[in-house]
A and B are shown apart, each in its own frame.
Chain A
Amino acid sequence: MARLRQGYGGQVLFLARHEWRVMRANAIVRLVVAVFGIALVGSTMLGMARAERERTTLADYENRQGALPFRTPASRLGADAVANERGWLAMLPPAPLAHLAIGQGDVYPNYIKVTARSLDALVTGDQIEHPLSVASGQFDVAFVILFLYPLLIFAVSFDLTAGERDRGTLRMVLSQPVTLRQVVAGKMIVRVALLLVPAIVLPFATQFAGAPQYAAGARWERMLLWSIAVIAYASVWHGLALVVNARGLKAPANALVLAGLWLLFVVVGPSAVNLLIATRYPMPSRVEAAVQARAATQEATVQGSRELGQFLQDHPTSGNVGREGMRQFALLQAQRDQRVADRLQSVEATFNEQLKKQQHLASWLSVLSPTMIAQGVLLDVAGTSTYRYEYFRHEASKFQRQWRAYFEPRVLDAATITSQEYVDAPDFRFREEDDTVMRDRILLPIALLTGFALLLWWAGFRRYARYQL
């Protein structure tokens, strides 16, 4: 036993084990761990229930969509009714780790109605709201990790050595053959493990305990990436705590400084960035967007309806319209729809452009706060970041072109379609974006967090060389 502890590392581990005993006896530490555990398990369970609801809703839509709209196999339906009124719902299944982070899930719709005329216009949804401002108020595992975890790290770390120094125990310890760095390393190991183990294990353990199907193969890699991101993020906060403790202030002063840092990086920083983005690239309000969209639609509709009205005046009864007349009517209708779609698209394009600028600026400014960097990574790994929704929209858009190519000639021909033709029409099955794209995106942010963490740990241990006993 004694021989095992001869080395430098052996002494550190021995000190860590001792620290673990001392901390275990501390009521505040026990409370912190309990709060963290409850928050992690609770948020995972809520997330799983939410993902399950989403899955059920989509399955329901899927079933309804799968039922053929024809009364009998021989009946026929108007092409316009099938292609535009019925359309096709392009659905986005819940993301691989959606139960861990709501992310943009409450901002972007997880289904889009595709018609031969257009995608369902963006402006009719709730999505024109700045994603950063929306993403901060949800109780999910990502929230617990990003906001609560750093606070709890500080709660167990504000008195790393100050209390023992002031009571005199540290002098007793350092009169033994150990260095202050070994003592600090032992203390840090316990504090990191105390919170990191539950932070990584509990959400995954809860998901497997609650629903074994979560063990499906594809998620392991994402779980690993999620864990790496959590480790990198936590290391930054532990590093900050180390640096503050190394300055040799008293424990209450450390607590105050650390609380200030938490406020700065978790609350003030992201809010300031949001404000800056909103000032630099102001987004028109949603109400204004809806008004613009309605005006655009109305204008195009009025113009189209005038032409259609003229047509109907010229052909007061359907009897004398004939197939040619019907085609002409379909063409006029298609022209009107196209105008509406074009106008909507221009409103939407303005918003998208502004949103792109905001996101670009946000990604640059996020380096100012570890919370913002980690948020981007966690959402991307969970599959609830803007990227996945944009990819879904992109895929839906591709599908819309196929749908339109299939139905438009039939609509313009005022044709009716058979059930077989309907079955042969293209359908939408969402295929996930290649994981390597996501991995490439998160590589730099994770490297950045790791770099910050290493720098802080190095600075902290270096500063401890000058610690006054």
Chain B
Amino acid sequence: MIEAVRLCKSFGSTQAVDHVSWSIQPGEVFCLLGANGAGKTTTINMFLNFIEPSSGEARIGGLDVVAHPVETKKKLSYIPEQVTLYPNLSGLENLRFFTRLAQAAVDSDAELLAILAQVGLTADQARRRVGTYSKGMRQKVGIAITIAKGASALLLDEPTSGLDPKASNDFSELLTVLSGRGVAILMATHDLFRAKESGTRVGIMKHGRLVETLDTKQLGHSDLEQIYLRHMHD
């Protein structure tokens, strides 16, 4: 469960995140839309405890991330726009490192290779240096980390930007698989199409505030675009 409870963050006189509240349940994919500077990344950074909230709470699995920084990180996984791994190590070695760092139960190479296969990386690719990987392949390793770690919460910060449509679609399918396994997912994105396709709910952020929350089932693609643009023009 990913919960924001009246979450605020100000930098000097700038209110970057302004009383944001939500509760993302297991299996739910909550897509956070908004222009650049709307406060999406700041919000995600607060859930990662990279930035301390000015007030309010960011909770993972019911625990406040500031009070329980290590415990909450055992439950969550993070995929940024660029999954930056160690370029001199192979995909498998990177996965092994992050999985062991997460103190996950998965430990053997066979298990790790099986997970990499699930996300669409062959054993051959898994043994290649990550320095030779495309962005899509690195994002897949990010998903593999989430699976291997057994994370119950996933934070994604514009994970599909720069991906070609096929890679983007593959990525969305993996998210659907994760959500099917009960992972609560928070994804900041600019991609309205992806948000409608993969999301169960959509939140629109503007000037640090969550101005609208919508259920994707009750929306058409054009509806979402219109609502979004209306907020941006206000």
Chain A contacts to B: CB under 8 angstroms: 1-2, 5-6, 11, 14-15, 18, 21-22, 25, 167-169, 171-179, 469
Contacts and interface: CB of A to CB of B under 8 A. Distances in A.
A5 B100 contact: yes
28 contacts: A2-B104, A2-B105, A2-B107, A6-B103, A11-B101, A14-B100, A18-B97, A18-B101, A22-B88, A171-B48, A172-B84, A172-B85, A172-B98, A173-B101, A174-B50, A175-B48, A175-B73, A175-B76, A175-B78, A175-B155, A176-B73, A176-B98, A177-B71, A177-B73, A177-B74, A178-B73, A469-B45, A469-B50
B82 A177 contact: no
B70 interface: yes
A76 B70 CA distance: 92
Contacts of B88: 22, 25
Given A171-B84, A469-B45, 14 more contacts: A1-B107, A2-B103, A2-B107, A22-B88, A169-B85, A171-B50, A171-B78, A173-B101, A175-B73, A175-B78, A175-B155, A176-B98, A176-B102, A177-B70
A321 to B, nearest CB: 94
B45, B101, B104, most chain A CB atoms within 10 A: B101
Contact of B101 (A171, A178, A469): A178
B66 interface: no
Given A6-B103, A171-B50, A171-B78, A178 B70 contact: yes
B77 interface: yes
- Shortest 10 CB-CB contacts between residues of A and residues of B: A168-B84, A175-B78, A177-B73, A176-B101, A25-B88, A177-B70, A177-B74, A169-B84, A176-B102, A469-B50
B86 interface: yes
A178 to B, nearest CB: 6
Contacts of A469: 45, 50
B69 interface: yes
Contacts of A167: 84
A5 B89 CA distance: 21
Contacts of B155: 175
Interface of B: 45, 48, 50, 69-71, 73-74, 76-78, 80, 82-86, 88-89, 97-98, 100-105, 107, 155
B13 to A, nearest CB: 19
A172 B84 CA distance: 7
B80 A5 contact: no
A269 to B, nearest CB: 38
B211 to A, nearest CB: 28
Contacts of A18: 97, 101
Contacts of B105: 2
B78 A172 contact: yes
A169 B100 contact: no
Contacts of B50: 171, 174, 469
A390 B225 CA distance: 89
A14 B100 CA distance: 9
B113 to A, nearest CB: 18
Contacts of B103: 2, 5-6, 177
A415 B152 CA distance: 106
A167 B88 CA distance: 14
A277 to B, nearest CB: 50
Contact of B89 (A2, A21, A173): A21
Contacts of B104: 2
Given A2-B107, A5-B100, A11-B101, A172 B89 contact: no
Nearest to B93: A21
B45, B82, B86, B155, most chain A CB atoms within 10 A: B86
A2 B89 CA distance: 21
Nearest to B96: A18
Nearest to A11: B101
A172 B74 CA distance: 13
Nearest to A175: B78
Contacts of B98: 172-173, 176
Nearest to B129: A25
